[in-house]
């Protein structure tokens, strides 16, 4: 793939991340946490363009997520009031790492299964890994950085969770499943189509 084509596709995916982040398309407000469908273009870029592009798109995702904490998202705004620095750490580095690792997963599986009939499995596995990494890193940082705060302790009490693991399951719940299903269906299909198109056009 030429540098120009790679840059163009990265620019388009970046624009999609930004547009989705500031419209209802990117974050579906259900419960205290939103369903982050904006992870889809991040995963797509990580698969098609590689780990570095995944990290960059994760950075864009993280920055827009952090921006939501300035009054656009009640949960994030509350955390920002507790600690702006910890909120920054929770929003940005976690997304960069998720995008990067998603790209590595695809690259690793593709290399391991190269030439085999099961090579196509790299797409769905990598697509699922993106939201899994994103949710795991986000929730881990939330518990580690804010777990002892009155805000999170009250949420745990209200949810009936007796420990942090139960709290994570209760908080993520359907949201995480929707993100995984969306990436499995959309990101996997779009990524495969883009890579096939790129090969056919030899770009």
Rounded to whole angstroms, the Cα distance separating 181 from 172 reads: 14
Domain around 38:
3-108+117-201
Q: What is the pLDDT of residue 203?
A: 60
The total number of structural domains that make up the chain: 1
Q: How far apart are the C-alpha atoms of 106 and 150, rounded to whole Å?
A: 40
Residues 6 or more apart from 93 whose CB is under 8 A from it?
Answer: 62
| Segment 31-81, tens digit of pLDDT | 677 788 999 999 999 999 999 999 999 999 999 999 999 998 889 999 999
Q: How does pLDDT run along the chain (203 residues), one tens digit per residue?
A: 678 889 999 999 999 999 999 888 888 877 677 788 999 999 999 999 999 999 999 999 999 999 999 998 889 999 999 999 999 999 999 999 999 999 999 999 999 988 787 778 999 999 999 999 999 999 999 999 999 999 999 988 887 877 888 888 877 777 888 899 999 999 999 999 999 888 887 66
Interhelix angle 51-68/3-21, rounded to 10 degrees, is 20
pTM, 2 dp: 0.90
Q: Helix, strand or coil for residue 77?
A: helix
Q: What is the pLDDT of residue 31?
A: 67
Which CATH number goes with the domain that contains 20? 1.10.1760.20
Identify which of 61, 142, 128 has the alpha carbon closest to the alpha carbon of residue 97: 61
Q: Which of 39, 91, 33 has the alpha carbon at shortest distance from 67?
A: 91
d(CA 156, CA 59): 30
Please tell me whether residue 23 adopts helix, strand or coil conformation: coil
């Amino acid at each position: 793939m030429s540098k120009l084509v790679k840059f163009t596709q990265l620019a388009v995916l970046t624009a999609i991340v930004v547009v989705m982040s500031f419209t209802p398309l990117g974050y579906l407000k259900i419960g205290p946490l939103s369903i982050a469908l904006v992870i889809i273009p991040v995963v797509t870029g990580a698969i098609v363009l590689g780990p570095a592009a995944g990290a960059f798109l994760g950075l864009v995702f993280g920055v827009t997520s952090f921006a939501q904490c300035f009054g656009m998202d009640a949960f994030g705004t509350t955390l920002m009031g507790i600690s702006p620095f910890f909120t920054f750490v929770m929003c940005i580095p976690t997304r960069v790492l998720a995008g990067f690792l998603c790209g590595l997963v695809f690259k690793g599986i593709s290399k391991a299964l190269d030439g085999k009939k099961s090579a196509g499995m790299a797409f769905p596995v990598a697509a699922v890994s993106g939201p899994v990494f994103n949710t795991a890193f986000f929730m881990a940082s939330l518990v580690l950085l804010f777990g002892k705060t009155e805000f999170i302790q009250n949420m745990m009490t209200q949810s009936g969770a007796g420990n942090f693991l139960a709290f994570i399951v209760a908080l993520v719940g359907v949201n995480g499943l929707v993100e995984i299903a969306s990436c499995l269906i959309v990101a996997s299909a779009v990524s495969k189509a883009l890579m096939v198109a790129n090969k056919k056009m030899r770009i």
